[in-house]
A and B are shown apart, each in its own frame.
Chain A
């Protein structure tokens, strides 16, 4: 609840039109893309600049009002669901591309800019910003930074974190801090930039970011390798990488995923295949040709039925776009789609795919798997019905098993979607008690009143839902 006094203060900062608390508005900011999570905020606030953000945070800190920063609400771990009420902070007035610096190869943006809009703007000038989360057409850069988003090109080019040079951040006490800068080297003190990236809105609000750009690769080639069984596809992935080739993209889809994606996108995917790999390489033309020839050879050695080369950039783009729609397309099959992003070292991918199959059978649930096979980041997706509590319980058990298996193989509970509230009970599985405590002390130091996205990352109670045997 927001007191009358606090409400008047918040309104005076942003103006009446930027403070909304109708039932309608509260409802549409009560969710993100995570199934089974919904909770009404008390108000929705749209600041226009850093100064307003600072004043808002100061006031919220004073009145202990929770703040949930929200980009476009595509989070998959309930990270943007206001489960503790409070205000949802929007950035629809802060969406400018401030500068593209062609001398320093950087772009400076406000948090509300749509990822793809920024990508298009820099590409127009011949630059390349590689992170490409599947939601890039919708997501904001603020969201990408707070979640340290990955994407299809993570294998070769890394993730959002690897492209952030500097930030302007507002801390819960209202302080405005500049971290990093247009610098390739900078060791002045702790690396606050990296600490903030992926902090899921729990430490402060990013109001400006300076990102690194690289030159656009000269050539690109895309192939689709088709398999009669899952493991051959998985073994191809490991073999390609152990042969010292790092493709830009190495995406995997199993048969159920292929079917629904084809149903939606109609790009000619082989619906009879058990698995496909979408492989891309970019760079100087000679290197691309050489790598692709080798990749083709490896796939065929690993029993690929066929390896087709995309004939044009349009065709390649259609395949990428189709792959990006995988999660949402799976929603065609059952009312509820729950997805995880357990990640393992890339050498363990075949074992992980195999383990997921066994877990699926053991718990009698339906799991479709797709994902970024090349960087070990799989997206096992459970198709279920939120109204069937018995099945939902089995789904939860299956996911626990998947997390345990991933950790056993040296992996993690989440590769790119974040912990949010959904995976908070499993954090200790990955970090251990000491690890969680270390993180909690950081949180305490930045946000002693726990106003920044409370309830996220750290489980509400100490009860561990998963115990490793």
Chain B
């Protein structure tokens, strides 16, 4: 038997052993998920690119009807993991869990080249889990932007050697904070209004480096809303990138670190401002389901997770005096915030309550923008196709501001504006940055 055949057999065996058959059977193939699936729609209704189709493919491998061939793997990779199929599924199929397990099986049976291994080891084991390393990369980016290298590189045309969206991405990266600003932030902040709650802040790895300003804004809003805040130092990356990329073991280790960091704080809520992280944090119970000593602790942790917008509404922040110069604003949902954390009215409520802001709903705001973690880098073509269709909808309502609630979506919408050449007419901002501007 060749190594390739051996690998196929191993994969097939792992699918048989590891996939939960009841969960697969729970999909009764009614097709209610089809209209919610971006890749199904973008492929002119290819059943294979739909949630029902992907579950059928996985079940097909488990049942031994088809082999786990390249088409199968490509199809699973093409899924955005936006999980828009979950809220519309009357049978309550946990598609996200099925997908994650399947990807993990494929990943753990993969033979990677040495450079690939090195890059993954660096990103998943060294970079994201360690704040200090994130700070170092951040410093490099800062140096790139502020030293003059950026303008030299741009002029040199070297960027043309990179794929299109990498070039655009390079353009839309926010101004990177100076290394000296990435100071260790205060670990304890007092409420600036009558104290209504004690909350813990989950700072996130990307949010606490590249988007540090947004994190600062989040803390400030929480203080104004009446929150005492603790920011535990030993917290880690949420593990979402690992989990979605088939690095489940690393994700578990990070989950445990976070549970330990937060569980003794006696916080009413654990707050964050990135839907992508939030969705992973609320699912720690599932991630650690095979480790009974952690299940209860994970559950207690997850129950406290809340998006900043939900907490602000709960504390009547939208009834404060919020004001901005006249503008039309729209909101692009963060898929995981909407489909997993089920938060979608709070951000809209907050936006609508700002005097001067006319909130206009974006058609299909609940459809993914194509960012989806690192999807826009690894599935460039589909991601850009989705983004271009998204921008058509944006053009229909011509807002001055596109508001988002997750760093990935924020960068993607910035890219969309850049690609369409609309930079002089509109901007993309994170909800909390806009709110801080409105309250000041």
Contact = CB atoms under 8 A, between A and B. Distances in A.
Nearest to B55: A28
B66 A327 contact: no
Contacts of B46: 92
How big is the A interface, by class? 35 or more
Interface string A18-53: 000011111111111101001010000000000000
Nearest to B28: A331
A207 interface: no
Given A31-B56, A329-B90, A332-B91, A23 B69 contact: yes
B91 A22 contact: no
B29 A33 contact: yes
B32 A328 contact: yes
A89 to B, nearest CB: 13
A74 B56 contact: no
A331 B71 contact: no
Given A23-B71, A92-B44, A332-B92, A28 B28 contact: no
Contacts of A28: 47-48, 50, 53, 56-57
A25 B28 contact: no
A263 B47 CA distance: 28
A263 to B, nearest CB: 8
Contacts of B65: 27, 38, 40
A21 to B, nearest CB: 12
A138 B315 CA distance: 40
A26 to B, nearest CB: 8
Interface string A130-169: 0000010110000000000000000000000000000000
Interface string B40-58: 0000111110100100110
Given A28-B53, A74-B30, A331 B66 contact: no
B66 A137 contact: no
Contacts of B90: 261, 264-265, 325-329, 331-332
Given A264-B90, A328-B89, A331-B91, A35 B28 contact: yes
Nearest to B54: A28
Contacts of B67: 23
Interface in B62-90: 65-67, 69, 71-72, 75, 89-90
A17 to B, nearest CB: 11
Nearest to A32: B29
A138 B26 contact: no
Given A23-B67, A24-B71, A31-B56, A138 B44 contact: no
B175 interface: no
Interface string B90-117: 1110000000000000000000000000
Contacts of B29: 31-33, 73
Contacts of B30: 33, 74, 135, 327-328, 331
A24 B69 contact: yes
B174 interface: no
Interface in A354-410: 386
Q: Which of A28, A263, A331, A336 has the most CB of B within 10 A?
A: A28
Interface residues of B, number: 32
Nearest to B91: A331
Interface in A310-369: 325-329, 331-332, 335-337
Given A137-B32, A327-B30, A328-B91, A335 B47 contact: no
Contacts of B222: none
Q: Which of A31, A32, A328 has the most CB of B within 10 A?
A: A328
A329 B75 contact: no
By secondary structure, the A interface counts as loop
Q: Which of B50, B60, B72, B75 has the most CB of A within 10 A?
A: B60
A110 interface: no
A24 B45 contact: no
A72 interface: yes
B22 interface: yes
A325 B25 contact: no
Q: Which of A25, A27, A30 has the most CB of B within 10 A?
A: A27
B71 A22 contact: yes
Contact of B28 (A22, A73, A263, A337): A337
B31 A135 contact: yes
Nearest to B89: A328
Interface string A82-96: 000000001011000
B173 to A, nearest CB: 37
A27 B31 contact: no
B47 A73 contact: yes
Contacts of A26: 66
B423 interface: no
B70 to A, nearest CB: 9
Contacts of B89: 328
Nearest to A22: B71
B402 interface: no
Contacts of B92: 263-264, 332
Q: Which of A329, A331, A336 has the most CB of B within 10 A?
A: A331
Contacts of A114: 35
Nearest to B60: A27
B68 to A, nearest CB: 10
A27 B58 CA distance: 10
A422 to B, nearest CB: 14
B34 interface: yes
Contacts of B48: 24-25, 27-28
Contacts of A29: 47
A27 B66 contact: yes
A92 B65 CA distance: 26
Contact of B57 (A27, A264, A336): A27
A331 B56 contact: no
Given A31-B29, A336-B25, A336-B28, 16 more contacts: A22-B71, A23-B69, A27-B48, A27-B66, A30-B56, A31-B56, A33-B28, A33-B31, A137-B35, A263-B92, A328-B89, A329-B90, A331-B26, A331-B90, A332-B26, A386-B25
The 10 A-B pairs of least Cβ separation, nearest first, read A328-B90, A331-B91, A325-B90, A24-B71, A335-B25, A329-B90, A331-B28, A28-B53, A28-B47, A328-B30
13 contacts: A23-B69, A27-B57, A27-B65, A28-B50, A28-B57, A33-B31, A38-B65, A93-B44, A135-B32, A265-B90, A327-B28, A328-B89, A332-B26
Interface of B: 22, 25-32, 34-35, 44-48, 50, 53, 56-57, 60, 65-67, 69, 71-72, 75, 89-92
